Chains A and B, each alone.
Chain A
């Protein structure tokens, strides 16, 4: 690796101060699994200083708060997989976390890092988008909370300004327990990048889809929602056919590319299948009570 400076932040406040001090020259290290892999073989010059936030205790942890489920940006994928509260209120987050990398990378990699790397195939993104998650960003002028969808700008580019830091992800209280499922398809079972991933969530009201949310990964420059498919489902009776049709509509909303892993056509086909499965998975997750209301 090329030489760089290093400074460890004690907490988020210290981290923000350090980011202000170093400005453009700083790179944030959370879990390091993406940053180090990138820095090792990149032809680009190294950052002036790596700001290691991995010791900032206030950025860790999973807890239920007044706002909803709060996941600190430094929470590792393994911690999400093993979190009892996640399994209780938003189990799809664990489904998405358990397919990221391998055990070793899940033990190091963080949810904040996964989001901030902002690659289209990230596995954390679709489920959180389906949950309409919020993210809190700390900066020199204080904190602000924005919808997660406003974080993603382009591949490897977020809307954070220089000196800002992602501190937490919040699943809003209204969406806790919302039946949600995540689906991923890679070239292997283990340690694979998603060719396509997808998440779907919906409430049911008197047998009808209510507030359906569909999110897709690896088929556009960023993780995206599929608004047309959502609109199609909204207010329609819950049925397998509707789920399949929503998948087909979502496939028209995807803008996949052809690369050495898969062709665009193949990815579009996958979108249709994975969206259908995600919707069916969410339906499986609906409590008997919810299903009863629906039928």
Chain B
């Protein structure tokens, strides 16, 4: 049997000679490192001066190592004695944990530590509203919520141990649609009497008067779905304690200071005793801006007395990280006969998923930018983020700006079509100019949107299009 399981009937093993490489066989190229930007003259501009960097050709200093496969991403790092963690995911979107039986997992050879939510000193984190548990206890609010974590000598054993953990759930009602979540009778994801957890209102001028003066009024609804960042590199981190009780976390994370704060708060360890080493990030796009499982790894490492690496599978990347907010947007726009925007009323509902994450930032930016790069004398903007039992929405490139852009530019096209005005001309009429005031009352300077558009139009040949 044992012999059957070997590859064919082979007895070959590598001769030692072949491993003894001569110096000339060493393959690291001795060619020069990539050129970087010159240091003289200084690239930092003085007041009123153009930076000298414009027009210079620069190469990424790190691209040599990227191409050679030498860049050390987080998953390429292994510490001596390192264990591997896996997190058991709930797999149900809304439930109360009645019981968790970890005895079989703990008894498994190779399992060094098992962790439950109740063992975490402060089992909550968040960038504004602190509402997200590291391991659900006892309420599960999204299918990707972790319910227990295991550290073992191999990832395979850690996964087997997770599979052996028995969790009994009491199903709870759930809410899976942002509009549904607004209804009074909907399930309240975090209890209380509403699923709305952030709200923003911006008023400028008198929107009703603006509509009254309008030649036409357009009312439309727009929807953009949630989107996963899907960086090529999945979340991965390593937690390591030294003998003086100091914690080092190696993580593919974009905001190391925020990570230190969250580690300190959740672990009750002074921030001065926490070091976070941000490794080269294999794609972020906003999805690696906050901690994910690092405190769990730290506690597993503490229990086991050995460094612990945890890495997300691609599936976890989709269900247990954050995504871009889905937006439901209502745009009501009043225009004059010649196509000038006179008033715009906007109402947007953001699907925040199970926890807050960067929702407040996203809502703020979306509302501020929701009237577009256009002069709108009268505006009324209201935005809400609601909890649902879906994957948490957080920061993603643009923080809400792309979603509202889809809405206002779609509507601009519809208005142009209806008024029989060239869509470019309609925009040119309404673009911000020097001294324009935004919805929030900011007076703008150095406005180049008209010139930018003229250049763009020339470059892709707009005139020849229609």
Assess A/B contact in the complex (Cβ within 8 A): yes
Contact among A3, A5, A7 for B156, CB-based, below 8 A: A3
> Which residues of the other chain, A, contact B8 by a CB distance below 8 angstroms?
8, 10, 55
B455 at the interface (CB under 8 A from A): no
Within 8 A of B (CB), among A1-44: 1-3, 5-8, 10, 18, 41, 43
A122: B residues at CB distance < 8 A: none
Interface residues of B in 1-21 (CB under 8 A from A): 4-5, 7-8
CA–CA, A94 and B5, complex, Å:
36
* Interface 1/0 per residue, A45-87 and B, CB below 8 Å: 0000100000100000000000000000000000000000000
Name the distance in Å between B91's Cβ and chain A's nearest Cβ. 10
Closest-CB distance, B7 to chain A (whole angstroms): 5
Closest A residue by C-beta to B314: A41
For B206, the chain A residues whose CB sits under 8 A away are none
Residues of A within 8 A of B5 (CB): 5-7, 49
User: Chain B: interface residue count, which band?
Assistant: under 10
Provide the bound-state CA to CA distance between A10 and B4, in Å.
12
A1 engages B315 (CB within 8 Å): no
A43, B163: Cβ atoms closer than 8 Å: yes
Q: Chain A: which residue is nearest B1 at the CB level?
A: A5
Q: A7–B160 Cα gap in the complex (Å)? A: 24
* Measured CA separation A179–B226 after assembly (Å): 45
Binary flags per residue of B147-171, CB closer than 8 Å to A gives 1, else 0: 0000000001000100100000000
How far is B256's CA from A148's CA once the two chains are assembled, in angstroms?
59
Interface 0/1 of B437-462, CB less than 8 Å to A: 00000000000000000000000000
Which residues of chain B from 247 to 287 have any CB-CB distance to chain A below 8 Å in the complex? none
Say whether B7 contacts A8, CB under 8 Å.
Answer: yes
**Is B313 in the interface zone, CB < 8 Å from A?**
yes
Q: Complex formed: what's the CA distance from A279 to B324 in Å?
A: 43
User: Is the Cβ of B4 less than 8 Å from the Cβ of A7?
Assistant: yes
Q: Which residue of B lies closest to A49 (CB)?
A: B5
Interface residues of A in 166-214 (CB under 8 A from B): none
CB pair B7–A1 under 8 Å, yes or no, is no
Within the complex, what minimum Cβ distance (angstroms) separates B322 from chain A? 21
Residues from chain A with a CB closer than 8 A to the CB of B313 are: 41
* Min CB–CB distance B314 → chain A (angstroms): 9
User: Which of A2, A3, A8, A10 has the most chain B CB atoms closer than 10 A to its own CB?
Assistant: A8
Chain A residues with CB below 8 A from B4, complex form: 7, 18
- A87 CB → nearest B CB, Å: 34
Q: How far is the CA of A90 from the CA of B4 in the complex (A)?
A: 40
B311 to chain A, nearest CB (A): 14
- Nearest CB in chain A to that of B315: its residue: A41
Contact with A along B308-339 (1 / 0, CB 8 A): 00000101000000000000000000000000
Given the complex of chains A and B, what is the CA–CA distance between A6 and B315 in angstroms?
27
Please name 18 pairs of A and B residues whose Cβ atoms are closer than 8 Å in the assembled complex, sorted by A.
A1-B156, A2-B156, A2-B160, A3-B156, A5-B5, A6-B5, A6-B7, A7-B4, A7-B5, A8-B7, A8-B8, A10-B8, A18-B4, A41-B313, A41-B315, A43-B163, A49-B5, A55-B8
Besides A6-B5, A43-B163, 4 other CB < 8 A contacts?
A3-B156, A5-B5, A10-B8, A41-B313
What 7 A-B pairs are tightest by C-beta distance, nearest first? A7-B4, A5-B5, A8-B7, A8-B8, A6-B5, A7-B5, A10-B8
